[in-house]
Amino acid sequence: MIKSMTGFGRAEMSAAGRDITVEIRSVNHRYYEFSARVPRAYGYLEEKLKTHLGGRISRGKVEVSVLITNTEAADTEIAVNLPVAKGYVEALRSVSSELGLTDDLTLSNVMRLPDVFTVRKAAEDEEQIWEDVRKVTDEAIDKFVSMREKEGARMREDVLERLDVIDRLVCEIERLSPLSVENYRNRLYARLCEVLEDKNIDEQRIVTEAAVFADKTAVAEETVRLKSHIAQLTDMLSMNEPAGRKLDFLIQEFNREANTIGSKAQDIAITKAVVELKSEIEKIREQIQNIE
């Protein structure tokens, strides 16, 4: 199935005291280019995400954003530094005794003093965190891929319609090509009649000149190849694997044949058909640039 390289997917989940949100977005790019924004404390997730997404995305500039919010302080430990607290109490009571001050020391007074509490992050289970992030990421990827597929389906229909136009133009060129030779022969005969006033006109020379003209302007090989390319491209649009690079190469071959026909064209009707042909090919090329 044809997919666009442009897509977006978002998912969120609460697990083990954490709110996890994952967003995936992408734009077209020749290769798979990955970047991620994750909280500094979870930097180890970046390489895992790159590998995980690489299994389902072959092309595109992909950006992943991960937000992890601790809702229950699950990864935080708070401890009381008893030696420091006792030291403060002893020192304060010593001052109270020496200066004859009233001892109004309370627990709340002591708790406000520096370094009485120690706050530190508990050791985290990185594998469990990755497993939770992976689940959210998979949901975001599903939405992301679905959007790519829908856009790809629209692109496929557009390309198929343009291929129909190209096929009609190729058939028109095939029809016009023999007429072009006949028109050239008639013009040549008329010109010779005008110059020689119907005296000693060499019919064989006219036939020979017409044959040379026909050889120079023959486009049968190009039109046959174009029809083959149309069939190949149509088949590629139904592939169940990324086809963007193959399509890109094939559309170059379309351009090559169209340019050759244009260089041989000696008839205004054929030239006009070639201009339309190249216009449709260019529109297909623009679409293909955004196909995975």
As a dihedral over the C-alpha atoms of residue 68, residue 72, residue 74, residue 80, rounded to 10 degrees, the angle is 130
Ordered DSSP codes for 182-244: HHHHHHHHHHHHHHHTTSS--HHHHHHHHHHHHHHH--HHHHHHHHHHHHHHHHHTT-SS--H
153 is written with which tokens? 């389906």
Query: What is the structure's pLDDT at 148?
Result: 94
Structure tokens at 137: 């990421």
Question: What is d(CA 211, CA 31) in angstroms, rounded to the nearest whole number?
Answer: 49
Architecture in CATH for domain 7-73+125-148: 2-Layer Sandwich (3.30)
Between CA 32 and CA 45 the distance in angstroms is 18
Across the chain, which has 292 residues, the per-10-residue mean pLDDT values are: 91 89 94 92 92 91 93 69 85 80 79 77 80 95 95 94 95 79 57 56 60 58 90 91 89 93 82 93 92 88
Q: Can you give the pLDDT at residue 241?
A: 84
- Residue 167: its pLDDT value, please? 95
Residue 217: the pLDDT is: 54
What residue ranges do the domains of the chain occupy? 7-73+125-148, 76-121, 149-288
Phi-psi domain of 129 (left: phi exceeds 0; alpha: psi -120 through 50; beta: other) = alpha
Q: What is the model's pLDDT at position 223? A: 85
Question: Is the CA virtual torsion 151, 152, 158, 162 positive or negative?
Answer: positive
| Exposure of 68 in the CB half-sphere (CA atoms within 13 A) | 23
CA 22/CA 42 separation, integer angstroms: 13
